[in-house]
């Protein structure tokens, strides 16, 4: 008989650590298929038992093939129905616990991977908010580091920098985000680092504007700003030592940025035209340049493998990149995905440089929808 944990709850940090350590665990997702399709935990087992559990069916999980030889962590949307699942499994002899706060809380879970930057002396750490799909970057060289698109609490970046012996000297954004609450202003405040944003008049707090062509020094490396409007007008990509390209929401591994958020249909059309030109400039860079995007549409596994590819590869994958301007406009505008939840409130907070009172995941719940593929 398995030893049963006396504490019935697992919090996000604990489950994150178990997955990071590849500890034996069955993550059991009991949500509906529809909810699971939106976002899930990599490697989790799905049993669509939500309605049966909610209805009090004592055999809601009886037919499911759930291994007995490892602890089980039950997951639902907010951490309530997963308690019922845990109780039923415990009654059947499982070592089961429930994830506190469910997938909403999991939104803040993260992992990291070292990303390639072949011709650069810098080390690039891709910090993946796996519960949400946001990718941020810590780039370190000779004791100094910069952070691009901080999407997690400051201590995540501070601890990673400390592990590598780096001091965070600058914090940058690729654009004003609509899908998550930026932590860049807070990170700059906490660390005393300079805060650089693409030149624009959207935000109402102090920052150092970064203009096209400007370069920042990180130890012995150089990060050059390339203005790549389209997803938003200020969208900026950063090129590290002519080797790795941080594209924010302009270009992804399997798609391009959506041009329609906070825009009228006419503005979206104009932005799509700008995006076409920006993408043409980026894809004209050397084909071996490594593409490091601002998002992934799949949860990042705990595999330490970077979400990255070369420009040559992305040109093959993303057929939209080969289209003429007219065909590109027609295609992208026909493929715009549903608007992400709460984007107007998130943009307003990011323009104000504020985080909401209380739990930020209330606003940030839901998948990333910044890409068109």
Give the residues lining the site for Fe ion (CB under 5 A). Answer: 249, 370
| Residue 292 or 370 with smaller CB distance to Fe ion | 370
Rounding to the nearest 10 degrees, give the CA dihedral for residues 228, 230, 231, 237.
0
Strand order across the beta sheet in which 45-46 lies: 9-10, 96-99, 72-75, 26-29, 45-46
CB nearer to Fe ion: pick between 101 and 294: 294
Report the nearest approach of Fe ion to the CB of residue 257 (Å). Answer: 7
Q: CB of residue 203 vs Fe ion: minimum separation in angstroms?
A: 14
> At its nearest, how many Å lie between Fe ion and the CB of residue 178?
5
CB of 177 to Fe ion, least distance (A): 5
Least Å from the CB of residue 258 to Fe ion:
8
Closest CA to 145 of 218, 194, 241: 218
Between 249 and 260, whose beta carbon lies closer to Fe ion?
249
Please say which residue, 49 or 176, places its beta carbon nearer to Fe ion: 176
Which residue number, 94 or 137, has a Cβ lying nearer to Fe ion? Answer: 137
193: closest CA among 163, 234, 150, 228? 150
Q: In angstroms, what is the minimal distance from the CB of 36 to Fe ion?
A: 24
Helices (H), the chain: 12-20, 33-38, 50-54, 81-91, 102-106, 154-163, 184-191, 265-283, 311-317, 325-334, 343-352, 361-364
Residue nearest to Fe ion (CB): 249
Q: Token pair 């406009």 is at which residue?
A: 329
Q: Which is nearer to Fe ion, 77 or 230 (CB)?
A: 230
Q: Which residues of 87-112 are buried (b: 16+ CB within 10 A; e: fewer)?
A: bbbbeeebbbbbbbbbbbbbbbbbbb
């Amino acid at each position: 008989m398995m030893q049963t944990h006396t504490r019935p709850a697992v919090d996000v940090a604990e489950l994150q650590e178990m997955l990071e350590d590849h500890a034996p665990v069955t993550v059991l997702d009991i949500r509906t298929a529809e909810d699971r399709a939106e976002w899930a935990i990599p490697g989790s087992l799905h049993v669509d038992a939500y309605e049966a559990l909610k209805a009090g069916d004592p055999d809601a999980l009886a037919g499911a093939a759930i291994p007995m030889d490892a602890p089980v962590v039950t997951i639902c949307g907010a951490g309530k129905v997963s308690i019922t699942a845990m109780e039923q499994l415990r009654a059947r002899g499982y070592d089961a616990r429930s994830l506190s706060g469910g997938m909403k809380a999991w939104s803040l879970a993260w992992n990291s991977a070292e990303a390639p930057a072949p011709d650069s002396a810098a080390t690039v750490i891709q910090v993946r908010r796996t519960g949400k799909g946001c990718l941020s970057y810590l780039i370190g060289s000779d004791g100094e580091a910069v952070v691009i698109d901080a999407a997690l609490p400051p201590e995540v970046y501070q601890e990673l920098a400390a592990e590598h012996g780096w001091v965070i000297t600058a914090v940058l954004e690729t654009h004003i985000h609509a899908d998550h609450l930026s932590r860049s202003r807070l990170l700059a405040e906490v660390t005393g680092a300079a805060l650089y944003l693409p030149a624009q008049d959207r935000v109402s707090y102090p920052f150092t504007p970064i203009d096209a062509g400007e370069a920042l020094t990180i130890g012995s490396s150089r990060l050059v700003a390339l203005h790549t409007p389209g997803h938003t007008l200020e969208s900026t990509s950063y090129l590290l030592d002519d080797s790795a390209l941080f594209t924010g929401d302009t270009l992804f591994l399997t798609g391009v940025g959506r041009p329609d958020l906070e825009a009228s249909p006419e503005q979206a059309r104009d932005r799509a035209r700008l995006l076409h030109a920006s993408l043409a400039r980026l894809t004209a860079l050397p084909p071996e340049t490594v593409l490091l995007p601002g998002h992934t549409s799949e949860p990042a596994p705990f595999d330490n493998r970077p979400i990255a590819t070369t420009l040559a590869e992305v040109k093959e994958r993303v057929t939209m990149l080969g289209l003429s301007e007219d065909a590109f406009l027609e295609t992208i505008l026909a493929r715009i995905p549903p608007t992400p939840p709460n984007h107007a409130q998130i943009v307003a907070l990011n323009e104000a440089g504020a985080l909401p009172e209380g739990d930020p995941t209330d606003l940030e719940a839901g998948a990333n929808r910044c890409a068109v593929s």
